Chain A
Amino acid sequence: MLTYAPVSEAGGVGKTTTSATLAASHARAGHDVLVIDMDTQNGSLTYFFGPDYDRGDPEVDNLVRHLVGRPKGDFHDLTIEVEEGIDLIPSHNMLEDLHEFLLNEKDQAENFGESYSMYHQLHRVLRDANVRDEYDVIIVDSAGKAGPTLYNALVAVRNVVIPFEATAKGQESIEGLDDLVDGLEQSINIDVGVLAVVPIGYKDTRDQREILGELRESGFPVPVVIGERGSLMEGCWRQQCSPYTYVEEHRDRKRDYELETLEQFDELARHLEKEAGLETPEVTA
């Protein structure tokens, strides 16, 4: 099973579009994909795929209820199929208060002399739901900032993919992530692996070339480098679909460089699948 969270401390590097595009690529290769949106900002995956869903309704069963052990229904009923082969668990406004909810649970457990780990709840929910029987790939799109949401995501998936802007800001964000993961390892003893660092919006200036060189020397896997694809991604947001669907259905003519971008995302998805030892099923297109 392939499980990962795209993470980036810097905002606006395309964390959400990366998640959506990779999810689509895994699905098109024949894998069953579960995408979990834990990002409470507007402009998250839930908006991107645009299912008909009210994230503000506290009455409706949602992931947070499951995380704090008060589900209103079955885990599998939380999912919405947004594209063929992609199930989405949408974001919910209750996530904004997740920290408080988890602290309450922890206090409660301690009153009864039980131990409780605030950061293992998503892992518990996924394990109890036997996700392995249904999905090959799980992608969790979480908050960019350290906190219980991101920690729950990392403990559940253990692997990260880092969308990266080849600038000084981008470099700083990798250092920040490094500290974050360090803190996580020290406090709850889990080990997090980097599956790939993905430069996005690469323009091949001298500065960027230098930063990319340093990145490659750092020993992290950099399977693909993706150029500036603003209009493609904007189109996806407008149409609320993955870039693959957008190019097939909404572009009146195929643009070579955009097809190349899709191929690169495919290459990246295959790299991630291989890292996790997933067999690529035969796809009859």
Chain B
Amino acid sequence: MGLKSGSRDAGLDESDKEVERPTEQEQEVSDVDVEKERTDTSSDESEEVDSESTTESESVSQRPTMDSLPYKLRRDKVNEGREQVPYFLREEIIEGEDELQDTLEEMLGENVYKSDYREAAMVAAQRNPELIAEVLREWGYDLDAV
């Protein structure tokens, strides 16, 4: 899901290089902006407990550290900490990604980013090399094996 409501700062108000400034505008910020850590979580709207809001109230004695949070929850942007690598895929494989995405979204009950399932596919591959070997054999590797 790419489109989200709410206003973004284009960073043209600062003269120097992109500074990530928390915008502290005293206006009614539309509550769609969950990504921005806001400390005033005392609003009594019955909003669903959103996995994105990492601001715990101070009274919790054992607050999780950033590192103990799952990657999806502790990052500010989808590709935080990721390096871009070129990945060459054939057309039918790319087409198959949409179906994979739908299936995953159904299983997990929420939107899944392409970057996430692609990297997760690599993780799954690293954990299960035998599955990868199987596909590679379909492609003609290991032909002189018995």
Asked if B7 and A195 sit within 8 Å, CB to CB, the answer is: yes
Q: Choose among B4, B12, B32 the residue that contacts A132 (Cβ–Cβ < 8 A).
A: B12
B27 and chain A: residue at smallest CB distance: A277
Q: Which residues of B contact A1 (CB under 8 A)?
A: 10, 12-13
Range class of the A interface residue count: 35 or more
Asked if A219 and B12 sit within 8 Å, CB to CB, the answer is: no
Q: Which residues of B contact A229 (CB under 8 A)?
A: none
B118 and chain A: residue at smallest CB distance: A186
* CB-contacts of A146-175 with B (<8 A): 156-160, 174
Asked if B5 and A186 sit within 8 Å, CB to CB, the answer is: no
| A126–B13 alpha-carbon span in the complex (Å) | 10
Asked if B3 and A159 sit within 8 Å, CB to CB, the answer is: no
CB distance from B10 to the nearest CB of A (A): 4
- Name B's interface SS: loop
Tell me whether B113 is interfacial, beta carbon within 8 Å.
yes
Asked if B78 and A186 sit within 8 Å, CB to CB, the answer is: yes
Please tell me the number of chain B residues within 8 Å of chain A, measured between CB atoms: 29
Interface centre among B3, B80, B84 (most CB of A within 10 A): B3
* CB-contacts of A184-212 with B (<8 A): 184-187, 189, 191-195
Tell me whether B77 is interfacial, beta carbon within 8 Å.
yes
Tell me whether B137 is interfacial, beta carbon within 8 Å.
no
CB distance from B28 to the nearest CB of A (A): 9
Asked if B10 and A189 sit within 8 Å, CB to CB, the answer is: no
Q: Choose among A3, A130, A185, A194 the residue that contacts B10 (Cβ–Cβ < 8 A).
A: A3
Tell me whether A250 is interfacial, beta carbon within 8 Å.
no
Tell me whether B55 is interfacial, beta carbon within 8 Å.
no
Contact with A along B1-26 (1 / 0, CB 8 A): 11111111111111100000001010
Tell me whether B114 is interfacial, beta carbon within 8 Å.
yes
Asked if B10 and A157 sit within 8 Å, CB to CB, the answer is: yes
Asked if B15 and A127 sit within 8 Å, CB to CB, the answer is: yes
Asked if A178 and B78 sit within 8 Å, CB to CB, the answer is: no
Asked if B4 and A186 sit within 8 Å, CB to CB, the answer is: no
Asked if A193 and B2 sit within 8 Å, CB to CB, the answer is: no
Asked if A194 and B113 sit within 8 Å, CB to CB, the answer is: no
CB distance from A188 to the nearest CB of B (A): 9
Q: Which residues of B contact A51 (CB under 8 A)?
A: none
Tell me whether B39 is interfacial, beta carbon within 8 Å.
no
Tell me whether A131 is interfacial, beta carbon within 8 Å.
yes
Asked if A219 and B5 sit within 8 Å, CB to CB, the answer is: yes
Asked if B12 and A181 sit within 8 Å, CB to CB, the answer is: no
Knowing A123-B10, A138-B12, A157-B10 are in contact, say whether A191-B77 is a contact too (CB < 8 A): yes
Instruction: List 17 A–B pairs whose Cβ atoms lie within 8 Å, in order of A's numbering.
Output: A123-B11, A127-B12, A127-B15, A132-B15, A138-B10, A177-B3, A178-B3, A181-B3, A182-B1, A186-B79, A186-B113, A186-B114, A189-B80, A192-B8, A219-B5, A221-B30, A274-B27
Assuming A178-B2, A186-B79, what are 5 further A-B pairs, CB within 8 angstroms? Answer: A127-B14, A132-B13, A193-B8, A220-B5, A277-B25
Could you tell me which A residues sit within 8 Å of B by CB distance? 1, 3, 123, 126-127, 130-132, 138, 156-160, 174, 177-187, 189, 191-195, 219-221, 274-277
